[in-house]
Structure 1
Amino acid sequence: MPAQAGKHLAMYNFGLHVAAYESPAVEGFRLREAANFEAAARAHGFIGRSGYAGEPGVACWGEQVFPRFIEGSGFAVAPSSLSLWADIESLMAFSYSGVHADALKHARHWNVRQNWPPLVLWWVDAGAVPQWRDGAERLELLHDRGASAAAFTFKQPYGPDGNSVNVDRGRVKDIAALNAEGQGDLLAHVVALKV
Protein backbone atom coordinates (compact mmCIF):
# COMPACT_ATOMS: atom_id res chain seq x y z
CA MET A 1 0.00 0.00 0.00
CA PRO A 2 2.34 2.77 -1.17
CA ALA A 3 1.51 6.23 0.12
CA GLN A 4 -0.73 8.46 -1.91
CA ALA A 5 1.11 11.42 -3.39
CA GLY A 6 1.28 14.24 -0.92
CA LYS A 7 1.04 12.20 2.29
CA HIS A 8 3.63 10.92 4.77
CA LEU A 9 3.19 8.53 7.67
CA ALA A 10 3.97 9.96 11.11
CA MET A 11 5.04 7.64 13.92
CA TYR A 12 5.35 8.38 17.63
CA ASN A 13 6.40 5.87 20.24
CA PHE A 14 6.67 6.14 24.01
CA GLY A 15 7.82 3.88 26.81
CA LEU A 16 9.29 3.98 30.29
CA HIS A 17 12.66 2.57 31.29
CA VAL A 18 13.07 0.34 34.33
CA ALA A 19 15.64 2.80 35.72
CA ALA A 20 17.29 6.12 34.89
CA TYR A 21 18.72 6.48 31.38
CA GLU A 22 22.28 6.61 32.77
CA SER A 23 21.72 3.47 34.87
CA PRO A 24 23.56 0.18 34.18
CA ALA A 25 20.12 -1.45 33.86
CA VAL A 26 19.49 0.57 30.70
CA GLU A 27 23.00 0.28 29.24
CA GLY A 28 21.91 -2.10 26.48
CA PHE A 29 19.42 0.48 25.25
CA ARG A 30 21.98 3.31 25.38
CA LEU A 31 24.55 1.24 23.48
CA ARG A 32 22.06 0.57 20.65
CA GLU A 33 20.49 4.01 20.37
CA ALA A 34 22.89 5.58 17.84
CA ALA A 35 22.84 2.44 15.67
CA ASN A 36 19.04 2.51 15.61
CA PHE A 37 18.99 6.14 14.51
CA GLU A 38 21.56 5.39 11.81
CA ALA A 39 19.62 2.30 10.64
CA ALA A 40 16.49 4.43 10.32
CA ALA A 41 18.37 7.07 8.34
CA ARG A 42 19.57 4.37 5.92
CA ALA A 43 16.16 2.67 5.68
CA HIS A 44 14.04 2.69 2.55
CA GLY A 45 11.11 5.09 2.96
CA PHE A 46 12.59 7.07 5.87
CA ILE A 47 11.86 10.78 5.54
CA GLY A 48 13.10 12.28 8.80
CA ARG A 49 12.95 12.30 12.56
CA SER A 50 12.89 14.77 15.38
CA GLY A 51 15.98 15.33 17.43
CA TYR A 52 15.92 16.21 21.11
CA ALA A 53 16.19 19.67 22.65
CA GLY A 54 19.69 20.50 23.80
CA GLU A 55 21.32 17.71 21.82
CA PRO A 56 23.50 18.37 18.77
CA GLY A 57 22.48 17.18 15.35
CA VAL A 58 18.91 16.77 14.17
CA ALA A 59 16.48 19.63 14.96
CA CYS A 60 13.80 19.10 17.59
CA TRP A 61 10.21 19.21 16.28
CA GLY A 62 8.70 21.49 18.90
CA GLU A 63 8.81 21.24 22.66
CA GLN A 64 9.12 17.63 23.76
CA VAL A 65 6.11 16.68 25.84
CA PHE A 66 4.92 13.28 27.01
CA PRO A 67 1.57 11.51 27.21
CA ARG A 68 -0.17 11.24 30.57
CA PHE A 69 1.26 7.72 31.03
CA ILE A 70 4.46 9.29 32.39
CA GLU A 71 2.56 10.59 35.43
CA GLY A 72 3.53 8.83 38.65
CA SER A 73 6.55 7.16 37.04
CA GLY A 74 9.08 9.33 38.84
CA PHE A 75 10.59 10.34 35.49
CA ALA A 76 10.52 13.83 33.96
CA VAL A 77 11.52 12.45 30.54
CA ALA A 78 11.07 9.07 28.89
CA PRO A 79 12.23 7.21 25.78
CA SER A 80 10.20 8.34 22.80
CA SER A 81 10.69 9.07 19.12
CA LEU A 82 8.88 10.95 16.40
CA SER A 83 9.52 10.27 12.71
CA LEU A 84 8.12 10.47 9.20
CA TRP A 85 7.97 7.64 6.64
CA ALA A 86 6.86 7.20 3.05
CA ASP A 87 4.38 4.45 3.92
CA ILE A 88 3.39 1.77 6.42
CA GLU A 89 5.39 -0.99 4.73
CA SER A 90 8.64 0.98 4.95
CA LEU A 91 8.16 1.70 8.64
CA MET A 92 7.16 -1.89 9.35
CA ALA A 93 10.20 -3.25 7.50
CA PHE A 94 12.49 -1.05 9.58
CA SER A 95 10.70 -1.76 12.86
CA TYR A 96 10.60 -5.56 12.69
CA SER A 97 13.87 -6.47 11.01
CA GLY A 98 17.56 -5.78 11.38
CA VAL A 99 18.92 -3.39 13.98
CA HIS A 100 15.58 -2.27 15.39
CA ALA A 101 14.33 -5.85 15.67
CA ASP A 102 17.40 -6.62 17.81
CA ALA A 103 16.44 -3.77 20.15
CA LEU A 104 12.82 -4.95 20.33
CA LYS A 105 14.01 -8.46 21.21
CA HIS A 106 15.76 -7.11 24.31
CA ALA A 107 13.36 -4.29 25.23
CA ARG A 108 11.85 -6.23 28.15
CA HIS A 109 15.19 -5.83 29.95
CA TRP A 110 15.09 -2.02 29.73
CA ASN A 111 11.42 -1.05 29.63
CA VAL A 112 8.54 -1.49 32.06
CA ARG A 113 5.52 -3.48 30.93
CA GLN A 114 3.07 -0.91 29.66
CA ASN A 115 -0.72 -0.75 29.62
CA TRP A 116 -0.83 1.76 26.75
CA PRO A 117 -0.04 1.31 23.05
CA PRO A 118 3.71 1.38 22.37
CA LEU A 119 3.26 3.53 19.26
CA VAL A 120 0.76 5.45 17.19
CA LEU A 121 0.61 6.14 13.45
CA TRP A 122 -1.17 8.86 11.49
CA TRP A 123 -0.95 10.53 8.08
CA VAL A 124 0.23 14.10 7.51
CA ASP A 125 0.52 16.23 4.41
CA ALA A 126 3.91 15.98 2.72
CA GLY A 127 6.03 18.84 3.95
CA ALA A 128 4.19 19.05 7.29
CA VAL A 129 6.32 18.41 10.36
CA PRO A 130 4.49 16.82 13.30
CA GLN A 131 5.21 18.17 16.77
CA TRP A 132 5.91 16.12 19.88
CA ARG A 133 2.56 17.20 21.33
CA ASP A 134 0.81 15.73 18.27
CA GLY A 135 2.31 12.33 18.98
CA ALA A 136 1.48 12.42 22.70
CA GLU A 137 -2.11 13.47 21.98
CA ARG A 138 -2.61 10.81 19.32
CA LEU A 139 -1.16 8.06 21.53
CA GLU A 140 -3.67 9.02 24.23
CA LEU A 141 -6.45 9.09 21.61
CA LEU A 142 -5.50 5.59 20.42
CA HIS A 143 -5.45 4.32 24.01
CA ASP A 144 -8.79 5.90 24.90
CA ARG A 145 -10.82 5.26 21.73
CA GLY A 146 -9.06 2.54 19.78
CA ALA A 147 -7.74 2.67 16.24
CA SER A 148 -9.14 5.19 13.78
CA ALA A 149 -7.86 7.11 10.77
CA ALA A 150 -6.59 9.75 13.25
CA ALA A 151 -4.55 7.32 15.37
CA PHE A 152 -3.80 3.73 14.38
CA THR A 153 -1.35 0.82 14.60
CA PHE A 154 0.23 -1.77 12.33
CA LYS A 155 -2.49 -4.22 13.44
CA GLN A 156 -5.33 -1.89 12.47
CA PRO A 157 -3.89 0.32 9.71
CA TYR A 158 -5.58 3.10 7.79
CA GLY A 159 -4.55 4.58 4.48
CA PRO A 160 -3.98 8.23 3.63
CA ASP A 161 -7.60 8.42 2.39
CA GLY A 162 -8.91 7.53 5.87
CA ASN A 163 -10.05 4.03 4.95
CA SER A 164 -8.98 0.80 6.63
CA VAL A 165 -6.28 -1.03 4.64
CA ASN A 166 -4.23 -4.22 4.66
CA VAL A 167 -0.45 -4.11 4.98
CA ASP A 168 1.33 -5.57 1.95
CA ARG A 169 3.44 -8.20 3.77
CA GLY A 170 5.32 -9.16 0.61
CA ARG A 171 6.42 -5.57 0.13
CA VAL A 172 7.49 -5.40 3.80
CA LYS A 173 9.76 -8.44 3.20
CA ASP A 174 11.19 -6.92 0.04
CA ILE A 175 11.97 -3.63 1.80
CA ALA A 176 13.50 -5.45 4.79
CA ALA A 177 15.81 -7.31 2.38
CA LEU A 178 16.73 -4.04 0.68
CA ASN A 179 17.49 -2.44 4.06
CA ALA A 180 19.62 -5.41 5.13
CA GLU A 181 21.97 -4.84 2.19
CA GLY A 182 22.94 -1.42 3.51
CA GLN A 183 22.90 -2.12 7.24
CA GLY A 184 25.03 -5.23 7.72
CA ASP A 185 27.71 -3.28 9.57
CA LEU A 186 25.18 -1.86 12.02
CA LEU A 187 23.55 -5.24 12.67
CA ALA A 188 26.94 -6.89 13.27
CA HIS A 189 27.68 -4.13 15.79
CA VAL A 190 24.45 -4.43 17.79
CA VAL A 191 24.31 -8.23 17.98
CA ALA A 192 27.70 -8.13 19.70
CA LEU A 193 26.52 -5.66 22.35
CA LYS A 194 25.63 -6.29 25.97
CA VAL A 195 21.93 -6.76 26.63
Structure 2
Amino acid sequence: MRLAIYNFGLHVGPYDSAEVEGFRLREAVNFTAAERADGFFGRSGYDGEPGPSSWGSQVFPRFIKGSSFETGPSSLSLWRDIESLMAFSYSGVHADALKHARHWNVKQQWPPLVLWWVENGRLPDWEDGVARLERLHDHGPSPAAFHFKQAYDPAGAAYVIDRAVVRALVDKNSAGQADLLARVKTMPV
Protein backbone atom coordinates (compact mmCIF):
# COMPACT_ATOMS: atom_id res chain seq x y z
CA MET A 1 0.00 0.00 0.00
CA ARG A 2 1.03 3.59 -0.63
CA LEU A 3 -0.17 6.75 1.04
CA ALA A 4 -2.06 9.25 -1.11
CA ILE A 5 -2.46 12.90 -0.22
CA TYR A 6 -4.73 15.47 -1.80
CA ASN A 7 -4.70 19.09 -0.68
CA PHE A 8 -6.74 22.08 -1.71
CA GLY A 9 -6.82 25.77 -0.87
CA LEU A 10 -7.83 29.10 -2.31
CA HIS A 11 -5.51 32.01 -2.95
CA VAL A 12 -6.20 35.58 -1.84
CA GLY A 13 -5.84 36.72 -5.45
CA PRO A 14 -5.38 35.37 -8.98
CA TYR A 15 -2.43 33.02 -9.50
CA ASP A 16 -0.48 35.63 -11.48
CA SER A 17 -1.15 38.45 -8.98
CA ALA A 18 1.42 40.14 -6.74
CA GLU A 19 -0.48 38.83 -3.68
CA VAL A 20 0.54 35.24 -4.39
CA GLU A 21 3.96 35.86 -5.96
CA GLY A 22 5.70 34.14 -3.04
CA PHE A 23 3.65 30.99 -3.60
CA ARG A 24 4.17 31.09 -7.36
CA LEU A 25 7.95 31.45 -6.99
CA ARG A 26 8.14 28.55 -4.52
CA GLU A 27 5.85 26.12 -6.34
CA ALA A 28 8.42 24.48 -8.64
CA VAL A 29 11.00 24.39 -5.83
CA ASN A 30 8.51 22.55 -3.61
CA PHE A 31 7.88 19.99 -6.34
CA THR A 32 11.64 19.46 -6.69
CA ALA A 33 12.01 19.10 -2.92
CA ALA A 34 9.28 16.45 -2.90
CA GLU A 35 11.00 14.55 -5.70
CA ARG A 36 14.21 14.50 -3.63
CA ALA A 37 12.45 13.42 -0.42
CA ASP A 38 12.85 9.90 0.86
CA GLY A 39 9.57 8.02 0.44
CA PHE A 40 8.16 10.08 -2.46
CA PHE A 41 6.70 7.95 -5.26
CA GLY A 42 5.19 10.50 -7.60
CA ARG A 43 2.68 13.26 -8.15
CA SER A 44 -0.02 14.11 -10.59
CA GLY A 45 0.66 16.82 -13.08
CA TYR A 46 -1.93 19.24 -14.39
CA ASP A 47 -3.77 19.05 -17.71
CA GLY A 48 -2.10 21.15 -20.38
CA GLU A 49 1.01 21.95 -18.33
CA PRO A 50 4.54 20.60 -18.73
CA GLY A 51 5.64 17.98 -16.23
CA PRO A 52 4.15 14.69 -15.11
CA SER A 53 0.91 13.49 -16.64
CA SER A 54 -2.34 14.26 -14.89
CA TRP A 55 -3.97 11.47 -12.89
CA GLY A 56 -7.39 11.97 -14.42
CA SER A 57 -9.19 15.21 -15.13
CA GLN A 58 -8.57 17.80 -12.45
CA VAL A 59 -11.68 18.73 -10.49
CA PHE A 60 -12.15 20.84 -7.36
CA PRO A 61 -14.14 20.36 -4.17
CA ARG A 62 -17.41 22.15 -3.52
CA PHE A 63 -15.53 24.62 -1.30
CA ILE A 64 -14.52 26.52 -4.45
CA LYS A 65 -18.13 27.57 -5.09
CA GLY A 66 -18.74 31.24 -4.47
CA SER A 67 -15.02 32.03 -4.42
CA SER A 68 -14.93 33.66 -7.89
CA PHE A 69 -12.14 31.22 -8.84
CA GLU A 70 -12.44 28.40 -11.35
CA THR A 71 -9.33 26.65 -9.99
CA GLY A 72 -7.44 26.57 -6.71
CA PRO A 73 -4.02 25.44 -5.56
CA SER A 74 -4.12 21.69 -5.13
CA SER A 75 -1.87 18.70 -5.41
CA LEU A 76 -2.15 14.94 -5.49
CA SER A 77 0.79 12.65 -4.71
CA LEU A 78 1.86 9.23 -3.45
CA TRP A 79 4.23 8.42 -0.59
CA ARG A 80 5.72 5.30 1.00
CA ASP A 81 4.20 5.97 4.42
CA ILE A 82 2.92 8.60 6.81
CA GLU A 83 6.34 9.30 8.30
CA SER A 84 7.95 10.10 4.94
CA LEU A 85 5.12 12.46 4.02
CA MET A 86 5.22 14.14 7.42
CA ALA A 87 9.01 14.58 7.24
CA PHE A 88 8.66 16.34 3.89
CA SER A 89 5.59 18.38 4.82
CA TYR A 90 6.81 19.89 8.07
CA SER A 91 10.48 20.56 7.38
CA GLY A 92 12.71 22.23 4.84
CA VAL A 93 11.32 23.86 1.73
CA HIS A 94 7.71 22.86 2.31
CA ALA A 95 7.76 24.04 5.92
CA ASP A 96 8.96 27.42 4.65
CA ALA A 97 5.94 27.58 2.34
CA LEU A 98 3.58 26.58 5.16
CA LYS A 99 5.05 29.34 7.33
CA HIS A 100 4.04 31.94 4.75
CA ALA A 101 0.80 30.38 3.48
CA ARG A 102 -1.37 32.80 5.45
CA HIS A 103 -0.14 35.56 3.14
CA TRP A 104 -1.25 33.73 -0.03
CA ASN A 105 -4.30 31.70 0.98
CA VAL A 106 -7.71 32.45 2.42
CA LYS A 107 -8.55 31.00 5.83
CA GLN A 108 -10.05 27.61 5.18
CA GLN A 109 -13.36 26.34 6.51
CA TRP A 110 -12.47 22.83 5.34
CA PRO A 111 -9.57 20.44 5.97
CA PRO A 112 -6.45 21.53 4.04
CA LEU A 113 -5.58 17.94 3.14
CA VAL A 114 -6.77 14.36 3.17
CA LEU A 115 -4.78 11.13 3.39
CA TRP A 116 -5.76 7.60 2.36
CA TRP A 117 -4.11 4.32 1.38
CA VAL A 118 -4.07 2.99 -2.19
CA GLU A 119 -2.90 -0.36 -3.48
CA ASN A 120 0.58 -0.63 -4.99
CA GLY A 121 0.45 -0.02 -8.72
CA ARG A 122 -2.71 2.06 -8.54
CA LEU A 123 -2.76 5.83 -9.03
CA PRO A 124 -5.36 7.91 -7.22
CA ASP A 125 -7.19 10.43 -9.35
CA TRP A 126 -8.36 13.97 -8.72
CA GLU A 127 -12.01 12.96 -8.32
CA ASP A 128 -11.09 10.47 -5.60
CA GLY A 129 -9.05 13.11 -3.76
CA VAL A 130 -11.90 15.62 -3.91
CA ALA A 131 -14.45 13.05 -2.72
CA ARG A 132 -12.24 12.04 0.20
CA LEU A 133 -11.57 15.66 1.24
CA GLU A 134 -15.30 16.35 1.26
CA ARG A 135 -15.90 13.11 3.18
CA LEU A 136 -13.30 14.10 5.79
CA HIS A 137 -14.96 17.50 6.14
CA ASP A 138 -18.46 16.05 6.43
CA HIS A 139 -17.83 12.97 8.59
CA GLY A 140 -14.44 13.38 10.26
CA PRO A 141 -11.44 11.05 10.06
CA SER A 142 -11.85 7.39 9.14
CA PRO A 143 -9.65 4.79 7.45
CA ALA A 144 -11.03 6.03 4.11
CA ALA A 145 -10.16 9.70 4.68
CA PHE A 146 -7.91 10.94 7.46
CA HIS A 147 -5.21 13.45 8.44
CA PHE A 148 -1.98 13.46 10.46
CA LYS A 149 -3.72 14.11 13.79
CA GLN A 150 -5.86 11.00 13.50
CA ALA A 151 -4.09 8.56 11.21
CA TYR A 152 -4.83 4.99 10.18
CA ASP A 153 -2.64 2.18 8.92
CA PRO A 154 -3.32 0.34 5.64
CA ALA A 155 -5.47 -2.24 7.48
CA GLY A 156 -7.72 0.51 8.88
CA ALA A 157 -6.43 0.46 12.47
CA ALA A 158 -5.67 3.66 14.36
CA TYR A 159 -2.01 4.53 13.85
CA VAL A 160 0.50 6.36 16.02
CA ILE A 161 3.07 8.21 13.93
CA ASP A 162 6.65 7.26 14.80
CA ARG A 163 8.20 10.66 15.54
CA ALA A 164 11.72 9.20 15.76
CA VAL A 165 11.40 7.94 12.18
CA VAL A 166 10.09 11.35 11.10
CA ARG A 167 13.10 13.08 12.69
CA ALA A 168 15.52 10.65 11.02
CA LEU A 169 13.89 11.29 7.64
CA VAL A 170 14.02 15.05 8.17
CA ASP A 171 17.78 14.74 8.78
CA LYS A 172 18.19 12.52 5.72
CA ASN A 173 16.16 14.84 3.48
CA SER A 174 17.80 18.05 4.64
CA ALA A 175 21.17 17.27 3.04
CA GLY A 176 19.53 16.70 -0.35
CA GLN A 177 17.44 19.86 -0.13
CA ALA A 178 19.87 22.37 1.37
CA ASP A 179 20.36 24.17 -1.95
CA LEU A 180 16.60 24.46 -2.44
CA LEU A 181 16.02 25.77 1.06
CA ALA A 182 18.76 28.38 0.61
CA ARG A 183 17.03 29.50 -2.59
CA VAL A 184 13.56 29.90 -1.07
CA LYS A 185 14.97 31.85 1.87
CA THR A 186 15.89 34.59 -0.64
CA MET A 187 12.43 34.72 -2.24
CA PRO A 188 9.88 37.39 -1.43
CA VAL A 189 6.90 36.39 0.66
Please state which band the TM-score falls in when normalised by the shorter chain. Answer: over 0.9
Deviation at 1:26, TM superposition (A): 0.4
Indicate the residue corresponding to 1:13 in structure 2.
Answer: 7
Whole-Å Cα distance in 2 between the matches of residues 112 and 57 of structure 1?
27
Whole-Å Cα distance in 1 between the matches of residues 51 and 38 of structure 2?
21
Indicate the residue corresponding to 1:44 in structure 2.
Answer: 38
Q: Does 1:34 align with 2:28?
A: yes
The AA in structure 1 aligned to 2:183 is: H
Q: Does 1:186 align with 2:180?
A: yes
Whole-Å Cα distance in 2 between the matches of residues 87 and 191 of structure 1?
28
- CA deviation digits over 1:148-195, x for unaligned, max 9? 000000000000011001000010000011000101000000011000
* Greater than 6 Å deviation, 4+ residue runs: none
User: 1:1-195 to 2 correspondence within 5 Å?
Assistant: 7-195=1-189
Whole-Å Cα distance in 2 between the matches of residues 38 and 97 of structure 1?
14
Deviation at 1:127, TM superposition (A): 0.6
Per the normalisation by structure 1, the TM-score is 0.97
Deviation at 1:56, TM superposition (A): 1.1
Deviation at 1:85, TM superposition (A): 0.2
Whole-Å Cα distance in 1 between the matches of residues 162 and 50 of structure 2?
37
Whole-Å Cα distance in 2 between the matches of residues 55 and 170 of structure 1?
38
- CA deviation digits over 1:68-87, x for unaligned, max 9? 00000000000000000000
Q: Percent identity?
A: 67
Q: What do you get for the CA RMSD once the two structures are aligned? A: 0.3
Deviation at 1:28, TM superposition (A): 0.2
The count of aligned residue pairs is 189
The AA in structure 1 aligned to 2:37 is: A
Whole-Å Cα distance in 1 between the matches of residues 52 and 170 of structure 2?
25
Per the normalisation by structure 2, the TM-score is 1.00
Deviation at 1:116, TM superposition (A): 0.3
The AA in structure 1 aligned to 2:53 is: A
Whole-Å Cα distance in 2 between the matches of residues 56 and 188 of structure 1?
25
The AA in structure 2 aligned to 1:122 is: W
- CA deviation digits over 1:48-95, x for unaligned, max 9? 000000001210000000010000000000000000000000000000
